[in-house]
Chains A and B, each alone.
Chain A
Amino acid sequence: AQRVTQPEKLLSVFKGAPVELKCNYSYSGSPELFWYVQYSRQRLQLLLRHISRESIKGFTADLNKGETSFHLKKPFAQEEDSAMYYCALRGRSNDYKLSFGAGTTVTVRA
């Protein structure tokens, strides 16, 4: 079974401070990991995927297979980063289903 855990429901940081959203997963194989974001009154959208190894809006995430983690990081948070963030996993064997964590609400304060 595949499972994604986001231990923090809420995260509050000051503008300019670093922010890290934790994501741990369980999957017996090599999964594909994603971060999705939902800004206020907008739809869920893809932020980044681990296979791209790119930085989007200053965010990066590294897949750590040893720790089964895919934490999302940004060195200097901005007010526009306030949103709900979901970590998601897609297994290789049936690679159409996305399994989501419960989400973390990030608030960036001025």
Chain B
Amino acid sequence: GAGVSQSPRYKVAKRGQDVALRCDPISGHVSLFWYQQALGQGPEFLTYFQNEAQLDKSGLPSDRFFAERPEGSVSTLKIQRTQQEDSAVYLCASSLGSWSGGSYTQYFGPGTRLTVL
């Protein structure tokens, strides 16, 4: 079946522009994660949703970053007034279950490469 999809795959923004990155998780997956991967680094956790509830946003680097998942399916990561340090690959992952005692594999999307000029 279809895996996690993300769009756009590539985004170039001028410094100061707002961007919106979309994630379509695997159908029926309860949990959704966003990670940021800087060049030469591993992914770093940004935020976590269980259905439509954002249970953890501790990894968001500043208040310019905002994520939502209003209907518990598609999620959008929005970055306002982009800065050069925001340049990275943004990965979305989903998993079947929630985190109440279970341990579920996270399935990753292909990522969106954001370049801020």
Contacts and interface: CB of A to CB of B under 8 A. Distances in A.
Interface of A: 4, 6, 9, 32, 43-46, 51, 86, 88, 94-103
Interface of B: 3-4, 31, 33, 35, 40-45, 48, 55-56, 59, 91, 99, 103, 105-111
A101 to B, nearest CB: 5
A4 to B, nearest CB: 8
B33 A102 contact: no
B108 A96 contact: no
A45 B3 CA distance: 11
- Of A44, A51, A88, A103, most buried by chain B (CB within 10 Å of CB) is A44
Q: How would you classify the secondary structure of chain A's contact residues: helix, strand, loop or mixed?
A: loop
B43 to A, nearest CB: 5
B99 A44 contact: no
A47 to B, nearest CB: 11
Contacts of A98: 33, 35, 43, 45, 106
Given A44-B91, A45-B108, A46-B105, A96 B99 contact: yes
A44 B103 contact: no
Contact of B45 (A43, A99, A101): A99
A32 B103 contact: yes
Contacts of A101: 42
B103 A100 contact: no
A43 B42 contact: no
Contacts of A86: 42-43
A20 to B, nearest CB: 19
- Of B42, B44, B108, B111, most buried by chain A (CB within 10 Å of CB) is B42
